[in-house]
């Protein structure tokens, strides 16, 4: 005869009676779905592709950047390049470290610059561009040092007396300065 209920549960390790291990096709479908959701984003927030489903309208973003540039005295190209590197234009982007929004502001930095909602594009770009302005002033308009401080924090730049040796920070500074040269 067949297995009774208790035997069936012990064989199936807590799954429903009669449950089977999913086949390779089901596993591949689940993995492909997770990969596509991460790549293109979902209703939970963002993806990894620039101009993905949560990106802002390019014209609206351009106006926002141009206005922040005039208000805060920071190059529109610099602000745009930071936004491209930080969030790819996605106002709902959130990093593993907890930075959020178009310019990927950390909570304390956002509050220091008056951005109570880091996901509000206007507040985020205004606060981020003012932070960039302050970093440029602090480092005597040395764009590379200001970018390194934006990425790794001013304390890391001060301690290194230059661009910190963090590979991520060095790549970040190189990527943005290269973008500035082409714009």
Residue 21 pLDDT greater than 90, yes or no: no
Tell me the per-residue pLDDT of 24-55, one tens digit each, with 9 for 90 and over: 665 666 555 545 455 444 333 444 444 455 78
Catalytic residue chosen out of the listed positions 6, 21, 86, 168: 86
Mean pLDDT of 150-163: 98
The reported pLDDT for the residue numbered 24 is 66
Tell me the per-residue pLDDT of 56-73, one tens digit each, with 9 for 90 and over: 899 999 999 999 999 999
Tell me the per-residue pLDDT of 71-119, one tens digit each, with 9 for 90 and over: 999 999 999 999 999 999 999 999 999 999 999 999 999 999 999 999 9
CA distance 38 to 56: 18
Residue 181 pLDDT greater than 70, yes or no: yes
The reported pLDDT for the residue numbered 149 is 98
- State what percent of residues in the chain have pLDDT above 90: 69
The reported pLDDT for the residue numbered 127 is 98
Q: Which residues share a beta bridge with 44?
A: none
Which domains are delineated in the chain? Answer: 5-40 (no CATH), 58-182 (1.10.530.10)
Active site residue 86: yes
- CA distances, 162 to each of 46, 66, 166, 180 (Å): 33, 30, 11, 20
């Amino acid at each position: 005869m067949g297995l009774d209920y208790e035997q069936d549960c012990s064989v199936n390790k807590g799954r429903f009676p009669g449950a089977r291990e999913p086949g390779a096709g089901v596993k591949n479908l689940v993995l492909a779905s997770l990969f596509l959701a991460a790549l293109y984003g979902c209703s939970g927030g963002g993806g990894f592709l620039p101009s993905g489903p949560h990106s802002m309208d390019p014209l609206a973003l351009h106006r926002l950047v141009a206005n922040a540039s005039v208000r805060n005295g920071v190059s529109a190209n610099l602000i745009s390049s930071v936004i491209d590197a930080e969030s790819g234009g996605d106002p709902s982007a959130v990093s593993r470290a907890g930075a959020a929004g178009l310019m990927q502001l950390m909570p304390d930095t956002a509050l220091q610059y008056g951005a109570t909602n880091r996901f509000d594009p206007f507040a985020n770009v205004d606060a981020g561009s003012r932070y960039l302005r302050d970093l440029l002033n602090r480092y005597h308009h040395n764009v590379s040092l200001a970018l390194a401080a934006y990425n790794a924090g001013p304390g890391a730049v001060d301690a290194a007396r230059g661009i910190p040796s963090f590979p991520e920070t060095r790549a970040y500074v190189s990527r943005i300065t290269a973008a500035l040269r082409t714009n």
